Structure 1
Amino acid sequence: MPRAPPGAPRRLVMKPAPPPGPSRELPLQYTSFAVPPPVNAKNMASTYLKTEAQTWLGRQAPAPPLGQGVVPSRGRKRKRPEATNARVAEDDEEEEGDESGSETDAAANPAQRTLVIHPSTSFLRIGLASDLYPLTVPNVVARRDREGAPPRPARASASPEEEDGVEEAEVEEEDAEEEDADGKRKKKKDPLTVKIDVLRADLRSIMRAMKLRPVTNGRGLAAAYNETSRAEKVPEHNDVMGVEWTKTAASDPDVLLGERALRLPAFSGEAQSASRPWELFYPFRQGRLDIEPYVARYGSAAAQALLSDVRAILMRAITAPREDLEARDDAAGPPDYGLGIDAKELGTYSVILIVSDLYSATDIQDLTDLLLVDMGFQAICIQQESVSATFGAGLSSGCVVRIGRDHTAVTCVDEGLVLAESRIGLAYGGDDVSLFFAQLLRAANCAYKELDFSRRLADRWIVEDLKHRLLTLDATQLGLVISDFHVRLPGRPTLKYQVRTYDEVILAPMLLFSPRVVSFKGKRSYAARLGGGLNQAEREDGERGALGTGADLPVTAAMQGSVSHLLPAAPDAAAADATPAPAAQAATNGTAAAGREAGASPHPVSLPPGMEQLALPDFHARMAAASAAGGSTGSPIKNEISSGTAGPSRALTPARTAGESTRPSPSAGGARGPSATPLALPSIDVQWEAAKVPLDVAVWNSIRAAVQPQMTTSAQEERVKRMSNNIICIGGTAQLPGLGSVLEARLNVHLAAWSQSVLGKDAESSISASVIPPPRDMDPRLLAWKGMAVLARLESVGEMWLQRRDWDAFGWRALREKSLFL
C-alpha cells in the first residue's frame, strides 16, 4: 500500500463495531407507553366538546352579573350606570349617596333588573320581578291605511267569533223546516235549542242526585219579567263608570295600541270611513303567534308586520310612564301606562319569557331574536307556562289546566319538568262560554235586543261583566236573580237595563264539560287549513314550519288517547288472536304513508316508538280491524258525550293543497314484498279531533299519558295519584265558582274505572282527584307570572340565562343548551 505524501491530511478509519450482545438482539422501543385500543362508540359516556360551555367562546371571561353590565346593541357603545352615577355625584353629593345605594340594591337583588313577560291572546302581563303585581295591558293593535294609500281588499275570512255567528245564522235558515212522515212540512227545531235541552236534562239529573228542588216554572217567570223590562236613561253626570272613547282625526297616528285601540268608536257601533277603516290585530292566538290576519292584509310581508306589532306593544308597555292620576289627559281618550323604563337602558335588563306548553320552535326562535337582537336585552330565560304555574303554587308536580280566552291547555308536570306526551290543547275557552251565555240571554227575552257579542266590543264588555258576576257551576246557587247592566255606546246616552236569569248562569259554564254547543268553525289552525302541516318524519328531522302557522306542533300520546273513539271498534278476542302481530305493527307504522298517499290529514294517527301500550291498550287492534275492513274511511262517533261532538265524525280531513311533503316515511318501508298491499286506513287529524273533547276527558287523558309503559304497577299508581291530587286551574275562566268541585266529581269516575281495571281496587279505595286553589287567594291569571318572579330571585337560575353574545355566536343551539324543554 503506497504511503501518503508528506503534508497530506491523515485519513481516519473507524474500527468495526463489536458483535451485538445478547441484550441488544431485539430493537428497543422509543417509549414504554402502551397504545390504547380504539374506543367503542357504543360505550361512549364523555361530554367533551358536547356543550357550548366547553368551546373556546364559552371559556372566555364570564359575563358581568345580570343587572350590572351592559351588552352593546347594534354597534352603539353604551355607558355603564356606575359612570352615570359618578357624573351625577360631581353635581350633587346627596344624590350620589341615594343612587349609589340603589345600584347596590340592584346588585344584591337581580330581580330589580329582570323583566317577566307573559303574553296571551287578550292581555300582556309584564313587570319587574321585584314588583308585587304585573302590568296588564291589552295585547292588541289597531291599524288603518295611510292617507292617500290605495284601498286594500277586505279580509278573506272573518274573525272566529264572527264566523261562529255566521254559521249559527246559516244553520237556523237552512234547518228551519223539514218534512214529516206524511210528507207535510213542519217547522224544525233549532239545533242549538236541541243542544240546550240536552244540557238542561243533565242539569236536572244533577239536581236530583243532589236532592235539590228547582223553581217551578223558573224559565217562564224569568222570560216574563224580561219582556216587561224597560231601559232607563242615566244622566252623564251620574254615570261614574263612563267610557272614555278614543278621539281620532285625520292627522293622528294610523296605529293605536292597547286600551286606546279597544276604545275606538269604530269597533263599538260607530260607522267607519270607507276609505280608511280601522282594523284590529291580535298578534297571539291559542298561546302562539298568529300570522293569519297579517297574511290577509300584508301578504309576503306578514311575518315582518307581525313581529313589528309585537315589538311595538312591548316597547309601549316598557317605556310608557307609570300611572299618575294627576297628569291624566282626558282629551285624547284613555291614557297609556307602562313601567317607565328608558329605552336606552334595556341593555342592562334581562327577560324571562313565558311560552305555551304546546310551543312552536319557530315562534320561540323569532321572539328570542326580537328580544335579544332587536330590542337589545342583556339575557333571556324561557320557561313553559305549566312549569311557571307550579312554581308559583309552590308545587313540584301536578296537572295544570289553563282555561284561556280562545283555548284550553292541559299539561302534567313532574319534578319541575313538563311531561311532553301529556300535553293537549282544546279549541274552546272563555270566549265560547261568553258567546253561549249571550245566546242564552237572547233566548230568555233579554230587554237589550241589540246585544251582539261578536261584532261590538261594547256588547262584549257587557257580557263579560255579567259573566264574572253571575256565572257559577254550583247547583245550590240556582234561582231567580235580577241583575242590572249599563249599555254605553259611542254617541248615545247611557242606558240601564235589568235582566232576570234562572238556569242560564249554570248552563253557560257547562259548555266546558259538554262542548257539543261550541261552533268549531274557524278555530282550526292556519297550517291545518292550508294543508301544510309537518308530518312525523319531518318533525323527527328537525324541520320547522313557517312563523305563526303552528305547523311544527307535536302529536302527543294524550291527543291520541282522546281520538281513540274515532277508530273502528276493536275486534273480539278470537279475531285479535288470529290477527298476526306484523299486520298490526304495519297498520300502525304505515298510517303516515297511507295518509299522505290518500292526500289526507297532516297529523295521522301513529304512536311514537316505545309508546305503543301507553294509554291505548286496543290501539293496534283497532288499526288492524280498520285494515281488515277493506279500507273503511271513517267511523261514527260511538260516544258523543265523551267526544264532545254531535253527529257524524269528521275523521277525514281535506287534502293537503300546499306544503305537501314527498319525503317517504321511514316506517313505510316495513311493508315490502309481493304480498304487501297499501293499507287504506282512516286518516284523522289528531290535533283537531282531540281539541273537541270535554275538559274532564282531556285532563284524564293527560294524566293517563303521564304513565310510562315500563313503569311497575306501584309506580303507575304513584304517578297517577301525584298528578290527580295536585290539579291547578289557571286563567280567567278558572275563577268560576264550583269549577273545582265539578272537575273533581267527573275525574273520580275515570279514576275509579282505572283503579278497578289496572290496580284491582274497588270504588271506595280508588284514587280521588283534588283541585288545589291558588295559594293566598291569588288571582289564577297571575299565578304563572308570580312563579317566574320568584324564580328570578334564585341563584340557580344563573345556569338558564342565555347571553346575547352566545345567541349571536350559536343561535338556536345555544338556546337549546340553556333550556330544559327544547
Structure 2
Amino acid sequence: MVGKKSHRALLKEEGLQRTDNNMEFTTWPQVNMINQKNYYTKILEGLRKGKKDIYALNVQHVRSEFLKQDDQTLAVRLQQEERLNARKKAAVDIDRARAQAAQDGVPYAERDADLDDDVVMDDEGGEVYGSKTLIIHIGSQNLRIGLATDALPKTVPMVIAKKSERSEAEDSEPRPKRIKLDNPSEEWFGDDFAREYNTMAQDFKTMRRHNKRRVLPNSRELVTKWNSTTPPEIIPEHSDPMRVDWTELPDDPRQAPDFVVGHAALRIPDTSTPRYRLFWPIQHGWWNEGDYKNRNMLEHDFFKILEESIKNELGLTHKKEWSHYSCVFVIPDLYEKTMVTRIIEEFLRDFGFLRVCLIQESLAASFGAGVGAACMVDIGAQKTSISCVEDGMIIEDSRINLKYGGYDVTENFVRMMLFDRLNYSEFNLMRRHDYLLAEDLKAQYTTMSDENISVTTNTFHLRAHGQQTRKYTFKIYDESMLAPLGFFRPSIFDHSRKLLGRHTVVPRSEDLYSGHPNDPISKAQLAVYSYVNQSIPSAVMAPPAQPAQLLSISTPAKRLNGLPPHLNNDLDGTPRSSPAGSPAPEDGSTPRPTGEDANGDDAGEIKSVLPDTDVIDRTVPVMPLEQAILNSIQHAAGTGPESDRRLRELLGGIMCIGGASKTPWLGAYLEMRLRAAFPQFPREILVVPTPRELDPAVLVWKGASVFGKLRMTNDSWIGRLEYDRLGSRILNYKCIWHW
C-alpha cells in the first residue's frame, strides 16, 4: 500500500509548485483603475501626459454613468437639498430651544430619537399641515375644489356665461334632437330610437313577468292618453312658494359683467338684457372643441372658472397669497398629455402656486375608500372610468374610459317621456330652466328597481323667467327604469355630438422622435373600440368628406396603427388582433365569463379585431357597463400564476362611485348583471358601497385630500424651478405611474 505523500513532495515531484518566469499574462496594455472621486483631474492629467487611451476610457466611463444614478437627476437632488435644509433648520431650532431653556433655568425636554425627524404635523408658521394645500377635481359638469383640511369640497358648475348677441338656446337646435318634428311624437327621434326603445320595453316586460311582477297590457296606452289630454295649471307668481331666485343684472346693460361663473351663470335668464351664452370648457372628459373655434378662448374660459372659484369659494381673493399654496390636481386614468401639461404650466406660472402634484382618479378613490385592491367604477356626468387598483397602483392594462354618464340618462329620460307624449312638448335641454328641471326629474324618478314600477301620476312645476309658473301633471311607467338602463344598453344613447370638433382646436400629443400619438392607451380600451365597431354602428361616425392628415404613419413596406410602440407587435399590413383579447390560461384556472347581454352578444368573449387609426378617431368608446367591468378585470388579472387570486379579489371589490352612481338600486342591479355574465364566480362577485357613508360624488376629491396631506413621503410635488428647467420631462420623474 502506497503511503500518503506530503504536501512538499507533491509540489516538487508532481510539478504543482508555482514558479514565476517574469512573463506577463497578456501583451495588451493594462490601464489602472481611476480615482472614482475625481474624473476630470484624471482626464486632464491624461491629456497632459499624452495618454490618449486613458482619456478615451475616462470619457467612455463618464458617458456610461451619465444619469444612471438617482442622485444625478435634478428632481432627486432638489428633494435631497430640501430634506437637508429641513434637518439643518430643525437642528438650529433645537439648539435655540436648548439655549433658551438654559437661560431660563428650566430643563429641556429632548425629543425621542426613535421618532422620524421628518414627520412634522405643522406647516410653516405653526399652521396645520394641509391648510395651504388646494385639491382640484374637474369634471364635465361640476368642479370640486377645497383645501386638504376641509371635510367636504365646494361644488361649482363647470360653466361660464359670457356676453353674446344670442343665447345658446336661440343659437342651437333643441335637445333632445328632433329628427321629424312635424310627425307624431313617436317619430320625433327617428326609427332607430323607436326600435331600441320598444325592444327595451318588451324586454322589461319579460323581466317583470320572470320576477313575478304584475304587468298590465295597456300601461303604455294609459300614459300616452293622459299626457296628451291633460293641460298644465297656471299658478300666479305670488302663490308659488318655490319661485326661482334668478341672477340679477344691472338695469344699464353697459354695467353688466362680462362673464359670470358657476351657479349664478345657470340662473341668468335666457332672455336677459344683455344676452349671455353658456360655455362648458370640458365635455366628456376632453376639451370642448365642438363649441370653441379658438384654443386661446377655450383655455381662457377653463382657467377663468378655476380662478374665480378659488377667489369666491375659498376666499383667496388676492393672487399674491397663492404663492404660499400647493395644489393637488386630479387627472383621468386615461389622460391627454397636452391638457395635463398645459394645466401644470398655468398653475405654476400664472396662478403662481408653490408646487403642483398629480394623482389619477381611481387611485385617489382608493385613498378615499381606504382599500388596497378594488375595481373602481366612476360614473360621472358625461364619462365613466373603470380601473383596477392594487397595492396603491393602477393596473395600466385595465384602464377604460367610456363616453356616457348621468347626462346621457337625463337626456334619455326626457326623450322617453316626450316619446310617450309628455304634455310639456317644448322640453329643451339647451334652455337653462329646462336643464335644471330635467336634472331634478331624473333625481326624483329614475331607479334601477322594478319593484315599484307602475303607472304613476306625478307633478312638476315649470318656472321660467318672466312667465307664470305652470304646474304639469303627467304619468310615467317604465321610463324611470329604462332611462338608466342605458348604462347596460348604450346604443339607446345619442352619440352624434360626442366627437364634434375632436382635435380640430387642440392637437394631440405626439412622440418627438417617431411622431406617433403618445397619449396613454390600454389593452382594455382597445377592446372597447373593437366592440363598438362590431356591435354599435351608431357610435362610429362617418368619415369626413375631405380626410384630414391621419396620425398613422406609412412606410414603403409597412403601415403602423398609430398606437404606442409597445402595442405594435407586428407592423404588417394585415388586420391585427388587439392584445386586449388575451386567451385564458392553459390550465383553465381562470375561466372567461360567458352569457349574453341585452343585444344578444356574448358578454364574456370580447372579439378584438383592431380597426385602423382613422376608424378609432371616429369611434365613440362605449360598452355595456357589466361587460366593460369584466373586460377591465380580465386584463388586470392577466394570465400569470397569480391571475386566479387577483381575479377573485377584484371581483369581490367592485365599487361604484361618481354622481351618477347614486341612482337608486344601481349597485344591486349591476351585481345581478355581472353574475349573469360571469356565472363561474357567483359568490365572489360583489358590488360594495362606499365606506363610512361617504358621498360617492366626492370620494375622489376626498382621496386626493388624503394624498395631499402626506408629509415628506410624497415625492410627487413639482416646483417652479424644476418645471422651468425641464418642462414636461419632469413628469417622468415625479409621476407615481408611467407617464
Cα separation, 2, equivalents of 1:289 and 1:482 = 41
**How far does residue 112 in structure 1 lie from its aligned partner after superposition?**
1.0
Output one character per residue of 1:162-185: Cα deviation in whole Å (capped at 9) or x when no partner: 586447448979x979xxxxxxxx
User: Residues 614 and 707 of structure 1 are in contact (CA less than 8 Å); yes or no, is this contact kept in structure 2?
Assistant: no
**How far does residue 804 in structure 1 lie from its aligned partner after superposition?**
2.2
Describe the shift of the 1:416–1:553 C-alpha distance in structure 2 as closer, same or farther (beyond 3 A): same
Match of 2:655 in 1: 728
Describe the shift of the 1:164–1:532 C-alpha distance in structure 2 as closer, same or farther (beyond 3 A): farther
- The answer to whether structure 1 residue 212 and structure 2 residue 224 are counterparts is no
**How far does residue 293 in structure 1 lie from its aligned partner after superposition?**
2.6
Match of 1:747 in 2: 674
Describe the shift of the 1:170–1:441 C-alpha distance in structure 2 as closer, same or farther (beyond 3 A): closer
Instruction: State which of 253, 256, 260 in structure 2 corresponds to 1:252.
Output: 256
**How far does residue 191 in structure 1 lie from its aligned partner after superposition?**
2.9
Instruction: State which of 110, 116, 130 in structure 1 corresponds to 2:135.
Output: 116
Output one character per residue of 1:620-670: Cα deviation in whole Å (capped at 9) or x when no partner: xxxxxxxxxxxxxxxxxx9955499xxxx9x99xxxxxxxxxxxxxxxxxx
Describe the shift of the 1:370–1:738 C-alpha distance in structure 2 as closer, same or farther (beyond 3 A): same
Instruction: State which of 616, 627, 633 in structure 1 corresponds to 2:581.
Output: 616
Larger displacement relative to structure 2 (121-130 or 765-774): 765-774
Equivalent runs, 1:324-723 vs 2, <5 Å:
337-340=313-316, 342-453=318-429, 455-524=430-499, 526-527=501-502, 538-539=510-511, 541=513, 553-564=519-530, 607-609=567-569, 614-617=579-582, 640-642=599-601, 685-686=615-616, 689=619, 691-709=621-639, 711-712=640-641, 715-723=642-650
Amino acid paired to 1:504: E
Equivalent runs, 1:114-193 vs 2, <5 Å:
114-144=133-163, 162=173, 165-166=176-177, 168-169=179-180, 190-193=191-194
Match of 2:238 in 1: 237
Describe the shift of the 1:695–1:169 C-alpha distance in structure 2 as closer, same or farther (beyond 3 A): farther
Describe the shift of the 1:61–1:731 C-alpha distance in structure 2 as closer, same or farther (beyond 3 A): closer
Cα separation, 2, equivalents of 1:530 and 1:459 = 30
Cα separation, 2, equivalents of 1:814 and 1:724 = 36
Match of 1:318 in 2: 310
Counterpart secondary structure, 1:294: coil
Amino acid paired to 1:138: P
Amino acid paired to 1:418: I
Describe the shift of the 1:643–1:787 C-alpha distance in structure 2 as closer, same or farther (beyond 3 A): same
User: Residues 561 and 615 of structure 1 are in contact (CA less than 8 Å); yes or no, is this contact kept in structure 2?
Assistant: yes
Instruction: State which of 73, 92, 115 in structure 2 corresponds to 1:51.
Output: 73
Instruction: State which of 674, 691, 699 in structure 2 corresponds to 1:775.
Output: 691
Match of 2:112 in 1: none
Cα separation, 2, equivalents of 1:531 and 1:564 = 26
**How far does residue 521 in structure 1 lie from its aligned partner after superposition?**
0.9
**How far does residue 389 in structure 1 lie from its aligned partner after superposition?**
0.9
Counterpart secondary structure, 2:401: strand
Describe the shift of the 1:684–1:749 C-alpha distance in structure 2 as closer, same or farther (beyond 3 A): farther
Describe the shift of the 1:688–1:404 C-alpha distance in structure 2 as closer, same or farther (beyond 3 A): farther
TM-score, with structure 1 as normaliser: 0.66
**How far does residue 467 in structure 1 lie from its aligned partner after superposition?**
0.6
Cα separation, 2, equivalents of 1:244 and 1:568 = 49
Describe the shift of the 1:617–1:53 C-alpha distance in structure 2 as closer, same or farther (beyond 3 A): closer
Equivalent runs, 1:87-98 vs 2, <5 Å:
none
Output one character per residue of 1:690-717: Cα deviation in whole Å (capped at 9) or x when no partner: 61321112111111121334x12xx111
Counterpart secondary structure, 1:421: helix
Counterpart secondary structure, 2:292: helix
Amino acid paired to 1:820: I
Cα separation, 1, equivalents of 2:631 and 2:32 = 60
**How far does residue 489 in structure 1 lie from its aligned partner after superposition?**
0.7
Counterpart secondary structure, 1:304: helix
**How far does residue 682 in structure 1 lie from its aligned partner after superposition?**
6.3
Match of 1:263 in 2: 267
Describe the shift of the 1:473–1:111 C-alpha distance in structure 2 as closer, same or farther (beyond 3 A): same
Cα separation, 1, equivalents of 2:31 and 2:559 = 68
Describe the shift of the 1:345–1:408 C-alpha distance in structure 2 as closer, same or farther (beyond 3 A): same
Cα separation, 1, equivalents of 2:525 and 2:33 = 57
- The answer to whether structure 1 residue 794 and structure 2 residue 710 are counterparts is yes
User: Residues 408 and 426 of structure 1 are in contact (CA less than 8 Å); yes or no, is this contact kept in structure 2?
Assistant: yes
Describe the shift of the 1:357–1:34 C-alpha distance in structure 2 as closer, same or farther (beyond 3 A): closer
Q: CA RMSD in A?
A: 4.6
Amino acid paired to 2:694: M
Cα separation, 2, equivalents of 1:386 and 1:483 = 38
**How far does residue 568 in structure 1 lie from its aligned partner after superposition?**
9.2
What percent identity do the matched residue pairs reach? 28
User: Residues 138 and 258 of structure 1 are in contact (CA less than 8 Å); yes or no, is this contact kept in structure 2?
Assistant: yes
Cα separation, 1, equivalents of 2:301 and 2:84 = 31
Cα separation, 2, equivalents of 1:109 and 1:792 = 13
User: Residues 387 and 416 of structure 1 are in contact (CA less than 8 Å); yes or no, is this contact kept in structure 2?
Assistant: yes
**How far does residue 280 in structure 1 lie from its aligned partner after superposition?**
1.8
**How far does residue 497 in structure 1 lie from its aligned partner after superposition?**
1.5
**How far does residue 286 in structure 1 lie from its aligned partner after superposition?**
2.1
Match of 2:5 in 1: none
**How far does residue 213 in structure 1 lie from its aligned partner after superposition?**
2.1
User: Residues 283 and 289 of structure 1 are in contact (CA less than 8 Å); yes or no, is this contact kept in structure 2?
Assistant: yes
Cα separation, 2, equivalents of 1:214 and 1:474 = 15
Describe the shift of the 1:799–1:440 C-alpha distance in structure 2 as closer, same or farther (beyond 3 A): same
Describe the shift of the 1:228–1:794 C-alpha distance in structure 2 as closer, same or farther (beyond 3 A): same
Cα separation, 1, equivalents of 2:69 and 2:258 = 54
Counterpart secondary structure, 2:255: coil
Cα separation, 1, equivalents of 2:82 and 2:346 = 26
Describe the shift of the 1:373–1:34 C-alpha distance in structure 2 as closer, same or farther (beyond 3 A): closer
User: Residues 605 and 683 of structure 1 are in contact (CA less than 8 Å); yes or no, is this contact kept in structure 2?
Assistant: no
Counterpart secondary structure, 1:484: strand
Describe the shift of the 1:120–1:189 C-alpha distance in structure 2 as closer, same or farther (beyond 3 A): closer
**How far does residue 561 in structure 1 lie from its aligned partner after superposition?**
2.3
Counterpart secondary structure, 1:799: coil
Cα separation, 2, equivalents of 1:606 and 1:686 = 18
**How far does residue 62 in structure 1 lie from its aligned partner after superposition?**
5.3
Describe the shift of the 1:461–1:63 C-alpha distance in structure 2 as closer, same or farther (beyond 3 A): farther
Amino acid paired to 1:468: A
Output one character per residue of 1:59-118: Cα deviation in whole Å (capped at 9) or x when no partner: 5455988xx9xxxxxxxxxxxxxxxxxxxxxxxxxxxxxxxxx99796352111111111
Instruction: State which of 661, 665, 671 in structure 2 corresponds to 1:738.
Output: 665
Cα separation, 2, equivalents of 1:816 and 1:526 = 30
Q: What 5-or-longer segments of structure 2 have no aligned partner? A: 1-19, 25-29, 36-56, 90-120, 536-550, 571-575, 585-596
Amino acid paired to 1:241: M
Match of 2:226 in 1: 225
Output one character per residue of 1:250-273: Cα deviation in whole Å (capped at 9) or x when no partner: 33122221222222212xxx3x78
Cα separation, 2, equivalents of 1:344 and 1:527 = 37
Amino acid paired to 1:288: W
Describe the shift of the 1:702–1:242 C-alpha distance in structure 2 as closer, same or farther (beyond 3 A): same
User: Residues 553 and 562 of structure 2 are in contact (CA less than 8 Å); yes or no, is this contact kept in structure 1?
Assistant: no
**How far does residue 233 in structure 1 lie from its aligned partner after superposition?**
2.8
**How far does residue 190 in structure 1 lie from its aligned partner after superposition?**
3.3
Cα separation, 1, equivalents of 2:453 and 2:650 = 32
Output one character per residue of 1:117-156: Cα deviation in whole Å (capped at 9) or x when no partner: 11111111111111111111111111225xxxxx89x99x
